[in-house]
Structure formats: C-alpha cells, structure tokens
Structure 1
Amino acid sequence: MELQNVAPWASSAGEIDHADTPESLRQARVDSQKWLLASRASDPLSDWLQTANEMHDRIAAKAVQICEKGMVEDGFGLPPVPYAFIAFGSMGRLESTLWSDQDNGMIISDVASADKELYFRELGCRLSAMLEYLGYPKCEGKVMCSELLWRRTLSDWRDQLTKWSDDFAWEPIRYLIISSDMRHIAGDAQLSSEWKCSFYELFRKHPDLPLAVLRNTVRHKATLNILGQIVTERFGEHAGDFDVKYGLYIPLVNVVRFLALQHGVEETSTLKRLRHLALLEAAPLPLLDACERAFRTALRLRMATPVQERDGLLVSNSYLAVKPLKQGKGWHELREALSTVRRLHRALQRQLRFMEGRRS
C-alpha cells in the first residue's frame, strides 16, 4: 500500500472499529470513502481494491455487532446458537466498488434451540436494513440474509446445495454459481469452513456439474460485432454508452469461476483464481495472462464509471460514455479486453460441444 495512504486508512479503520451506533458507523463509512474516492486514480489498483474491501469487511462485521447489541436491548437476548455471516457476489470475491449492493447470507448452527428461528429471522431483517442504511442497496435478486433461502442452518444449507446440484435447470445452477463466491465475514468461522467443504464435495461427487455450470457460463451479452466493433447500448437513457459490468466484467468473472470450479480451486477472488489456475496449467498460459490483463482493465473501467453522492453515500451505474474513452487509451484497452472475452467464450463453446458430445 502506498505510504501516504497508511495513516488515513489506519484512522478510518479505527473510526469503524470504535463505532457503536448505526449513525456513527455510517459516518465512518462516509469518511473512509472520501479519501478512497480521491485516491482511486493515483493508487495502484490492487492496493486500492484491497483497502476498499477491507473497509467493507470491517463495516459489515461492525454492523453485525451493533445489530446483536440491538437485539439484546430489545429483549431478544444474545444469539441462541453460533452462526456465521457470509458474503457472496463482488464482496465475496473481494471486488466490491464503493457503491456495490448487498449479496450476503447466514449459516446457523444445528444446535437445538426453540428460539433460533425467530431470533435469526429478526436479526437477518435488521442486518439487511442496517446495511442498506450504511450505503449497501438491497440486492434486486434478494440474495440477502433477510431471505430464508440465504439464511439457513448448516444441515439445511447442505440439503439445499444438494438439491441445486441434482437439478441441472438454469435457476438451480445459477444459485449454485452464486454460492461458489461465498466468503466468511463474521461469526463462527468453523460453520463457514464446514459449509465450504460440503459445497466442494458436491463437485467431487457429481462429475457432470461443471458441464451444467458451463452451459450457464457461455451465455453472455454480445460485446463485439462481426466486424470487431464495440457494441454499445442501443436504447434508453444510456444509449451510446458501454456497459462495463455486464459487457466486460461479469463475463470474465464467469469464465474464471467456471475454470476454478472445474479444477477444484477454492479461492473466491478472480485474480487469485487466475493465479491458481496458472499454477495448475488449467488453460494455456498465454490465454490466462490475457484474461488477467483483461480483468484488470475491467476493474479499472468499473472504478471509472461516473459517481454521484446522495446523503454522503455514493451511487453509480455500470455505464461509461464512449466519447471520453475514445480520446484516451481506454478505447484500445477496452477493445483488447473484449477480444479476449470473445476468445475465452469461443474456447468454452468448443469445450461445451466436446463435453456434450462425450455424454451422447
């Protein structure tokens, strides 16, 4: 990390750690993101991303503590059994922006308790609401600890994961893919560890699961036309703009995630997955190197999307205007990254045909 940023981050981390109310924690986030936003253009990308995601982790862990305290004050008492608060999505992958939404869940101990269903339903709703207040919008897909589907006992999680892995339809496999980005945030780390063991055991037991994941992975938004020209939005308020998230970032995340699942790589960070895949020689090294370059371009462009401030918190979308990109080197980098995406998807389409051919 750059030396000039050590002091402000240490101060911000201390402010987060000492927050004891939702209001003070929200202010700590506002203060932290101010200098993160100011430094995103000058700091090395990997250092900046690491600091931003450490901020998110600290805020989420502190939010859990404050919610638990509120549960005691309101007569619900302490947690009746151990539990873990976990992240999915960009937070699970350590790739959150300063405006990312919620993707989270809970793993609850199987220890018997008459009060645990009521307790954790209330805690899950409170925690999701507090995170929204702290600047993390609720997930449109409802991947949140306030939802029963993502708040389960360990045994119920195991049963659900098994059901998803036994059903190769689009939706169950999508849920399984979401689950693969799980990362422990707070609470009982052993529960998260046991959950992970159960998850990866499914892929060892079901050799056809990677094929089902691959079918989901090869579907993606067209980003280059047959002439190699970048495809921009055609309609709506973002007509003429480029969708960085779904046009570049998500396709790369999906490809690397599939390769990681296929080869038993348990990392959740896309960059760490790529490094592990390179060590395994899971794909030609020049292609993996090109994928990493493309992914770093995706991260830079994702951070460069226009930002608005609302009540001290940041809001952005995934679109970039084309004209400023064409005036700098960003346009060339984008085309190169999208060419890599096309190469990767063509390779996966060939692999899908081969794997399906072997089954027929």
Structure 2
Amino acid sequence: MASMELTDGYDEECFRTIVLAGSPQELRERRIACQSILLEQLNVIPIEEWMFRVNTMHDLIAETAVLICEAQMKEAGYGPPPCTYSFIVFGSSGRQEATLWSDQDNGLIVEGEPDGEKNRYFEFFGIMLSDLLEEVGYEKCAGKVMCSQGMWRKTLSEWKEQLKEWRTQLEWEPIRYLIISSDMRHVAGSTELSALWQKAFYEGFIDNEELSVAVLRNTVRHKATLNLLGQVLTERFGDYAGGFDIKYGVYIPLVNIVRRLSLLHRIRASSTLERIEELERLHKYQHLDDIQRAFLLAMRMRVNTPFSVQNGLLISSDYIAESELKNKQLLSELRESLLLVRRLHRALQRQLRSAERWRT
C-alpha cells in the first residue's frame, strides 16, 4: 500500500488544501471536502487503493494538526518544543486501514530523559493535540490510547522501560498493550525516534518463546460468527438486530492472525496487506492468498456499512445491515471468509494447546 501513487489530480489538489490549513476550523472544513471526493471514488477504484488515499488524507491532517498545535502552544505562552519528538499512531491508523469514521489511536515519543520542563510542555501539548484532533473530527479513543494520556506519551527511555515491563508481565492486559503497540507507525516529527522505538520493540521478541505464547493466547480470543451448520450468526437483539458485525466478526480476526505470524518472524511492516506480502516471501505458510482475498473483502464490506452524517462527518456502527445480507453473492463470500477464519482460529488454538503442554 505504501508504494501506491496518487495519480488523480483531484485528490492531489484536495490534499494540498489540507497542509495549508491554519486553524482547526479550516482543517475540519478541508477534511470534509476531501471526504466528499473520497466517497465518490468508493467502489469505483480498487479497495486497497481507496484505503491508501483515505489514510494519506488522515496522515496529512495529523501532520498539519501537529504544526497547528505547536503554534497554539506558542500563543498560549509555552514556547516552542523543548526537544525533538515523534507523533505516532496505532490501531487501524497504524495499519493504514482507518475508515472515514475511525477514532484516535496515537501517542508521543519524546527525545532524551524525562525532566520537569519536558513533562510540563508535552503534557499540555498532548492534551491540546488530542482536543484539536477531536475538533477536526476524530473522536477520542474509548480505550484512551491517545497522546493526552501518560501511558502513551513518554520519553524514549521511558518507552523502553514500559515495553520491557509489558513483555515480562505476560498477563492479558500488558500483552494487549504490547499487541496494540505492534501496529505503531510514524506520522510526524522525528523519524529517528520512531525508528529507535521500533528497534527496542522488536528486540524484545528475539528468542522469547514465553512472550510468543502469551501473544498467541491473546490472539485466540474470537467472537463466534458461524453456527454448527456453518450459517452466519447475526445479531439477535438491539439496534443492529439482523445485522452482522463485520469489524469484530471477520476484519479484526484476520488482522490478529496476520499480526501474530508477523510478530513471530519480526516483520516490521504495519499494514496487514504488507505483512501478508512479507509472509509470502518466507514460503512457509499456506492459505495466504485466501487470507488476502478475505481481508480485501472484509475491508470492502467494512467501508460500505451504513453511515450517518453529523455536522459533515461520518458515523458508522461497522455492522452490515440485514438487507445487505439478502444479497446471495455477498452472503456466500462472507461465509467463505468466516469459514477460513474459523479454520485458522482452530489451528491457532491447537498451537496454543501444544505450546502450553510443552511448557508444563
């Protein structure tokens, strides 16, 4: 995905307006304008190219938001940044798979050792930047994976200690944080800091069988999506009764399976498609073509879920509507993808049982 080029002049002009925004209000307006163009292109160009364009827009907005935030900090009397720093993203943004309605998942890496001046500046900077991004249209993360939170805003030395702590605890929550961190991607600021962060992250996986098993244990959690007869399980009650949760039913399981294999081989690519490409080069795994096909279907279905518009911005539940599931071809493709996910999930469960028997 990262190697694609934007050949549509319409896109390029739209993206140029983003980087020229001088205030959160202008940035929001230009996001909405670009969003309209991208919606026109949905289902017209290949889904992987469309996702690349969407995430290019998100990156440009984030880079511009960082510059606007620095200017606002100066105006508020905090002065310029006291040292270099890196703005990084996690989650779907880290994987370059964010939709037009994705929320915030981000953090900061600050140069050097912690001190009072740095702590004060970047605490306010992180809060201000997260608020600014919310104003531009990115909802705050319900799990608080944001640069406004101390856990995700640290100096490089503090980050190294945090990663080490998560690696050694091997419990559900710290391993979950470590898995979130594995999708980290640099967006703005010092590329060197981000590279050093990644080096520290992947070094912790070298010859660490216990950590690998702990990641596998977290990965095998899975929402049931097919009944005993192989029929697609839809929501029975609530607002989405009759619909299907495409995000947690098929998209996230595929992301988790590919991420697990990538961590096993210390593949540093962050996007799922790039990870699949790297895994193919190893010539070790079957079904990678099937996984790629299922993943592209999951992305296409996810971005086509019903959405509403509030103040120019999109909101979606990530549920396929019941009416869509009446399309026999779509339902057949979804079922095939879910059968693949179930087979892969069962294979991972067997690996986990074997690993745990070996350890005991």
- The residue aligned with 1:250 is 252
Residue 264 of structure 1 and its aligned partner are, at CA, apart by 1.2
Which of 198, 209, 216 pairs up with 2:211?
A: 209
User: Any residues of structure 2 matched to 1:218-229 within 5 Å, and which?
Assistant: 218-229=220-231
Stretches of structure 2 lacking an aligned partner (at least 5 in a row): none
Residue 113 of structure 1 and its aligned partner are, at CA, apart by 5.2
| Alignment check: 8 A CA contact 1:12 1:31 kept | yes
Which of 11, 14, 28 pairs up with 2:13?
A: 11
| Alignment check: 8 A CA contact 1:33 1:98 kept | yes
| Alignment check: 8 A CA contact 1:16 1:62 kept | yes
Residue 328 of structure 1 and its aligned partner are, at CA, apart by 4.6
- The residue aligned with 1:335 is 335
Cα distance in 2, alignment partners of residues 117 and 247 from structure 1: 41
- The residue aligned with 1:304 is 304
- The residue aligned with 1:174 is 176
- The residue aligned with 1:346 is 346
Output the amino acid matched with 1:11: E
- The residue aligned with 1:92 is 94
Which of 21, 25, 28 pairs up with 2:27?
A: 25
Output the amino acid matched with 1:173: I
| Alignment check: 8 A CA contact 2:113 2:155 kept | no
SS across alignment from 2:34: helix
- The residue aligned with 1:124 is 126
Output the amino acid matched with 2:308: Q
User: Any residues of structure 2 matched to 1:219-298 within 5 Å, and which?
Assistant: 219-284=221-286, 287-298=287-298
Cα distance in 2, alignment partners of residues 322 and 314 from structure 1: 20
Residue 263 of structure 1 and its aligned partner are, at CA, apart by 1.2
Cα distance in 1, alignment partners of residues 269 and 48 from structure 2: 17
CA change 1:29–1:53 in 2 (3 A) is same
CA RMSD of aligned residues (A): 1.4
Cα distance in 1, alignment partners of residues 325 and 236 from structure 2: 18
Cα deviation code 1:11-61 (max 9, x no counterpart) = 111100111111111111000000101211211111111110000000000
Cα distance in 2, alignment partners of residues 154 and 205 from structure 1: 23
Q: Compute the TM-score of the two structures, normalised by the length of structure 2.
A: 0.97
Runs ≥4 residues deviating over 3 A: 111-114
**1:318 lines up with 2:318 in the alignment:** yes
User: Any residues of structure 2 matched to 1:69-218 within 5 Å, and which?
Assistant: 69-111=71-113, 114-218=116-220
Residue 289 of structure 1 and its aligned partner are, at CA, apart by 1.1
Identity of aligned residues (%): 52
Cα distance in 2, alignment partners of residues 105 and 305 from structure 1: 28
Residue 112 of structure 1 and its aligned partner are, at CA, apart by 6.3
Residue 326 of structure 1 and its aligned partner are, at CA, apart by 2.1
Q: How many residues align?
A: 357
| Alignment check: 8 A CA contact 1:105 1:151 kept | yes
Residue 283 of structure 1 and its aligned partner are, at CA, apart by 1.7
Residue 215 of structure 1 and its aligned partner are, at CA, apart by 0.4
Q: Compute the TM-score of the two structures, normalised by the length of structure 1.
A: 0.97
| Alignment check: 8 A CA contact 2:146 2:152 kept | yes
Residue 153 of structure 1 and its aligned partner are, at CA, apart by 0.6
CA change 1:175–1:112 in 2 (3 A) is closer
Cα deviation code 1:164-211 (max 9, x no counterpart) = 000111000000000000000000110000000000000015222111
Output the amino acid matched with 1:106: L
Cα distance in 2, alignment partners of residues 255 and 354 from structure 1: 17
| Alignment check: 8 A CA contact 1:81 1:113 kept | no
SS across alignment from 1:332: helix
Output the amino acid matched with 1:34: S
Output the amino acid matched with 1:54: T
Cα deviation code 1:274-294 (max 9, x no counterpart) = 11111112322xx11111111
Output the amino acid matched with 1:325: L
Which of 30, 33, 58 pairs up with 2:60?
A: 58
Cα distance in 2, alignment partners of residues 319 and 14 from structure 1: 33
Cα deviation code 1:247-289 (max 9, x no counterpart) = 11101101110010011111110011011111112322xx111
Cα distance in 2, alignment partners of residues 89 and 29 from structure 1: 20
| Alignment check: 8 A CA contact 1:259 1:282 kept | no
Cα distance in 2, alignment partners of residues 339 and 322 from structure 1: 20
Output the amino acid matched with 1:73: E
SS across alignment from 1:203: coil
Residue 239 of structure 1 and its aligned partner are, at CA, apart by 1.3
| Alignment check: 8 A CA contact 1:2 1:43 kept | no
Cα distance in 2, alignment partners of residues 2 and 195 from structure 1: 28
Residue 359 of structure 1 and its aligned partner are, at CA, apart by 1.3
Cα distance in 2, alignment partners of residues 254 and 190 from structure 1: 28
Residue 307 of structure 1 and its aligned partner are, at CA, apart by 1.4
Output the amino acid matched with 1:133: E
